[in-house]
Amino acid sequence: MPSVRNREALGWCLYDWANSAFATTIMAAVLPPYFQNIAASSLPDWRATALWGFTASGATLAVALSAPLLGAVADLAGRRKVFFVVFWLLGVGSTGTLSLVGEGGWKLCLPLFALGLVGFSLSNTFYDSFLPLVATREGMDRVSSLGYALGYLGGGLLLAVNLIMIRRPEWFGLPDAGWGARASFLSVAVWWAAFSLPFLLWVKEPGDVGKVDWGAGIRELKGTLREVGRHREVAKFLVAFWLYADGISTVIKMAAIYGAEVGIDTQDLVAALLLTQFVAFPFSLLFGVLSERIGVKRALYIALGVYASVCGWAYFLKDAWQFWLMAGTVGTVQGGAQALSRSFFARMVPKERTAEFFGFFSAVAKFAGILGPFMFGLAGSIFHTSRAAAPAISAFFLCGATVLSRVKVDRG
């Protein structure tokens, strides 16, 4: 029988398995081309891409502005789990409602996607804040990497089923591929809800539950801002993370809709992104081991270099085989970059203020997810093609690696 601590760590990791269905099917693989080809079929392709980019940026900005205060209030009240549940329900409910979006329904699709993204992102803020509470300092890299690995595997398995729904809708009693996509949105909501139960049941809220006090939260937030400013290594890491996380977030949010714009078939897009999931599963685990062998910074340098190369290559994207190869290459580093960033930061935060500090981490991550999608929207609006934005994303990874090189891990 595993110890309670091990069971809590497993329950924590399984939430990655649960919520990654949103990241794969909704953010990355199925909803973007569905929006481009069906929900926004009455709009020019460049305008659909621009609207998608602006919506993603707006929702991300809302998360970035609210996460630090919500984290501070949750820490003071001892209500991390309560705040988690509120935004988890928002994400699950909005995702399930996407199944109502039919042809020409872009005006319904965009707000539901925005609400789902807010729920997904803010529930992750409170979920991430439990990492220092379920893992030892020495075990954080492996636990964080296991979470991402399970996330890629779980998200990939459901995406495989969703791909069958789209390619063979008659097997599920559905009339066509459009209905297959809509059924896949509902399946994400069910998957996300069901596999969240181990986290909800096994991972306990530490300490006493108190009263929610927004005024005290604001005062605490101001104190934390001053404290982050005094911790130079933490501040430098957050700047580095802000830069390269913008690139990662942009790749996740914009890859499929960019591929659809340049003419890649929807089935190729979904299948290639499915490949990313299954490649990412073993490589996420590998990066957890690699960081112990060569150090977390060197492991991150490898990941960021690969990302920068792929984004430069994306400018020349024309054929489906190129998208497949790019998707597989991204899969080798995506989980590792995200997992090691999370565990890197978790080493630096006091356990009694994890939600507040991870609120800042989430805010930085979400501010990082604003500029890249906005660049795609701007490029589409100006040039009537988003191609020019792709190589510009490489700069985020290169600049992030440069700042990261100045972070002293031990001193931090």
pLDDT at 228: 64
Burial (CB count <10 Å: 0-12, 13-18, 19+), residue 227: middle
Query: Which amino acid does the sequence have at 180?
Result: G
Look up residue 36 and give its DSSP letter: I
Structure tokens at 273: 């992104």
pLDDT at 197: 96
End-to-end CA distance of the chain: 37
Looking at domain 8-201+213-404, which CATH architecture does it have?
A: Up-down Bundle (1.20)
- Predicted structure pTM score: 0.75
Q: CA-to-CA distance for 21 and 189, rounded, in angstroms? A: 8
pLDDT at 355: 65
Rounded to 5 degrees, what angle do the CA atoms 202, 208, 212 make? 105
Which H or E run includes 327? helix 320-331
pLDDT at 1: 32
pLDDT at 266: 76
pLDDT at 276: 86
Listed as ranges, residues in the chain with pLDDT below 70 are 1-5, 207-210, 224, 227-231, 349-356, 366, 369, 409-412
> Residue ranges per domain, the chain?
8-201+213-404
pLDDT at 5: 55
